[in-house]
């Protein structure tokens, strides 16, 4: 068992009422002579259409709770980024806790870091291993464990328990193999699971596109490479050189590069008849039912995230773990993000977005949207870096992924008629 304890700043992060609630007049006014002049009220934040409703449905919370969750995530994310940088090698992971993400938990290996964590407005937790120490342990398991079932089907770092987790249908056999390869079992948790992720092949998410006569996949986010427009999608959808058609079966473009397995990403160059738009469909009908994309800042674990897919539409949930390895029937894929969001066949390649920040493209998963499921997505940063692509913001600028947290993205639309 890991040695750990938590320290918090009391109820500093507890939210008992929406921050959208109007403050008393006395708190919003200043006195000028004998007159009381009201201060201008800050307009309430506007969330992308469909996000609040989808969170309400998929997380089984009220509309007020969904709005409070989004406000908390926006308020606490910059705090998490600053603390992650300050803690350096001591950083043990971070996550949102609570129904409305009212608590940001930041873990460290050094108790001396707790005062600055609390002062920043987060809850501090002391853990045995830093995140940097867990990464090579997971990498060793990825390299040494055999294929399912004995080697498990999913492996990830769980910062909440400060261990590398292996999901396996035969835990006793998997543990025996892990001990034999010399990994410290105190740093690993083998959990029984019948989960067998599969790519959501022959599918679409967001807007559909087609490869050949029968294969259908999903547009993720629009990109540019020099003067060439295109979009990113899942790598298992097609190989380099394969020709694609759009939603109306008109000529669209061709796959330029594709990676699968090991990773699951590709990019397609489109012809001049197709115009990129900085939006993701939210499952509604018509051109107005879209969510704008403003950047690609990675969301904190525990943050809300939504997925657009042609089979199951607009679905939302929370980010569970990053740097996850999944053993598909076609081979192992590493570096995926695990999310508690349902998906089904027909949703591959579609957009994962957190409020207005692109997160990645749908790879595969298990379960369905009737009984619930888990979905894995390929982070957008990896795709941009691997292929030298640029994402375009709604403002029209286009920082490269090396520029940091907020390069924007967009998605192709139907061709002009």
Residue 217: CB partners within 8 Å, gap ≥ 6? 202, 203, 204, 205, 208, 209, 210, 211, 233, 234, 237, 238, 348, 349
Name the active-site residue from 58, 158, 207, 264: 264
Sign of torsion over alpha carbons 408, 310, 219, 81: positive
Residue 132: CB partners within 8 Å, gap ≥ 6? 89, 91
158 is catalytic: no
> CB-based burial of residue 75 (10 Å sphere; 0-12 exposed, 13-18 middle, 19+ buried)?
middle
C-alpha to C-alpha distance for 60 and 57, rounded to whole angstroms: 5
| Contact between residue 254 and residue 270 where contact means Cβ atoms under 8 Å apart | no
Name the active-site residue from 236, 294, 310, 363: 236
5 is catalytic: no
Per DSSP, what are the bridge partners of residue 23?
none
90 is catalytic: no
Strand, coil or helix: 104: strand
Residue 346: Cβ within 10 Å count: 20
DSSP assignment of 251-317 equals: EEEEEEEEE-SBS-EEEEEE-TT--EESEEE-S-SSTT-EEE--B-PPPPTT-EEEEEETTTEEEEE
Name the active-site residue from 298, 348, 366, 413: 348
CA 338 from chain centre, in angstroms, equals: 8
**Residues noted as catalytic:** 236, 264, 348
């Amino acid at each position: 068992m890991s040695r750990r304890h938590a320290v918090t700043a009391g109820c500093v992060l507890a939210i008992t009422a929406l921050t959208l609630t109007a403050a008393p007049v006395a708190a919003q006014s200043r006195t000028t002579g004998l007159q009381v002049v009201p201060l201008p009220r800050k307009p309430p934040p506007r969330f992308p259409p469909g996000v609040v409703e989808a969170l309400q449905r998929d997380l089984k919370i009220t509309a007020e709770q969904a709005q409070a969750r989004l406000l908390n995530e926006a308020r606490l994310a910059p705090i998490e980024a600053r603390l992650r940088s300050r803690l350096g090698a001591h950083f043990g992971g971070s996550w949102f806790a609570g129904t409305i993400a009212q608590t940001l938990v930041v873990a460290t290996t050094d108790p001396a870091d707790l005062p600055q964590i609390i002062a920043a407005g987060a809850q501090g937790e002391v853990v045995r291993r830093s995140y940097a120490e867990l990464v090579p342990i997971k990498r060793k398991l990825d390299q040494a464990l055999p294929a399912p079932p004995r080697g498990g089907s999913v492996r990830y770092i769980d910062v909440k328990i400060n261990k590398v987790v292996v999901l396996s249908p035969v835990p006793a056999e998997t543990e025996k193999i892990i001990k034999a390869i010399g990994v410290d079992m105190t740093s690993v948790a083998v959990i029984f699971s019948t989960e067998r992720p599969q790519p959501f092949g022959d599918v679409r998410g967001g807007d559909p596109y087609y490869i050949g006569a029968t294969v259908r996949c999903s547009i993720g986010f629009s990109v540019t490479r020099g003067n060439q427009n295109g979009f990113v999608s899942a790598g298992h959808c097609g190989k380099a050189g394969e020709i694609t058609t759009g939603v109306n079966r008109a000529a669209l473009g061709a796959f330029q590069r594709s990676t699968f397995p090991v990773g699951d990403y590709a990019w397609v160059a489109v012809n001049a008849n197709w115009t990129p738009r900085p939006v993701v469909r939210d499952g509604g009908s018509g051109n107005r039912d879209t969510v704008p994309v403003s950047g690609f800042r990675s969301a904190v674990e525990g943050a809300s995230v939504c997925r657009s897919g042609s089979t199951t539409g607009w679905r939302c949930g929370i980010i569970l773990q990053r740097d996850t390895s999944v053993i598909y029937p076609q081979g192992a894929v590493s570096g995926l993000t695990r999310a508690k969001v349902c998906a089904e066949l027909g949703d591959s390649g579609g957009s994962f977005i957190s409020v207005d920040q692109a997160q990645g493209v749908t790879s595969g998963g298990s379960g369905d949207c009737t009984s619930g499921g888990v979905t894995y997505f390929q982070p957008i940063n990896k795709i941009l870096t691997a292929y030298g692509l640029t994402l375009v913001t709604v403002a029209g600028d286009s920082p490269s992924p090396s520029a940091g947290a907020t390069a924007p993205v967009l998605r192709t639309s139907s061709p002009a008629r």
